[in-house]
Amino acid sequence: MGKYLKGKQIDDNSITSDLFNLTTPNSGDTLSGATKEYADNYAIGSSYSHNPSNLDMLVNTTYNDGDLACNTSILSIPKSFIRVVVNGLEVSVGIGKECYFSNDGGITPQDNGSELIGDYLYWNGSISGYQLSVADDDELDFIYLIDK
């Protein structure tokens, strides 16, 4: 059975690691053993690094969908999609998802990938099944690439 790349079917083993800018070995000659973080760090080039600024942020207590998740906005210009991690677990980001970024007080959700510096995160507890809580010491990370 073939594999898919951006919705296009490709033959098995037709994309080998020698076609990517990878600096550490992986198992075999395909990217099957590479993690998302590995690909983020190495496959798109060495001019990017992970943003260190939006980590270990304290949350706001949320009660309703669309409540402000934390008082810290995106602090650096993102060069990749922003992955949101709550208490070590990645959640889905975007319109109709567990959370979304907005630049107008949460009224208009941004499409995933169109977030900008200064956008804030808003939480949809009914979709996630979990409300954020200051009392529970919930923590939030925005994982994304920036220019070095």
Mind listing the pLDDT tens digit for each residue in 116-134?
A: 999 999 999 999 999 999 9
Q: Map tokens 């979304």 to a residue.
A: 100
Strand order in the sheet with 120-123: 67-68, 120-123, 99-102
pTM exceeding the 0.75 threshold for the entire prediction: no
- The residues that bridge with 42 in the sheet, in sequence order, are none
Give the model's pLDDT for residue 102: 98
Q: Which residue has the higher pLDDT, 117 or 10?
A: 117
88-100 per-position pLDDT tens digit: 999 999 999 999 9
pLDDT confidence bin for 140, thresholds 50/70/90: very high
For 31-74, write each residue's pLDDT tens digit.
334 455 555 555 455 688 889 999 999 999 999 999 999 999 99
| Token digits of residue 57 | 């942020």
Q: Is pLDDT above 60 for 4?
A: no
User: Binning pLDDT at 50, 70 and 90, where does residue 11 land?
Assistant: low
Between the alpha carbon of residue 34 and those of residues 6, 31, 38, 125, the distances in Å are: 17, 5, 6, 32
Residue 10 has pLDDT above 80, yes or no: no
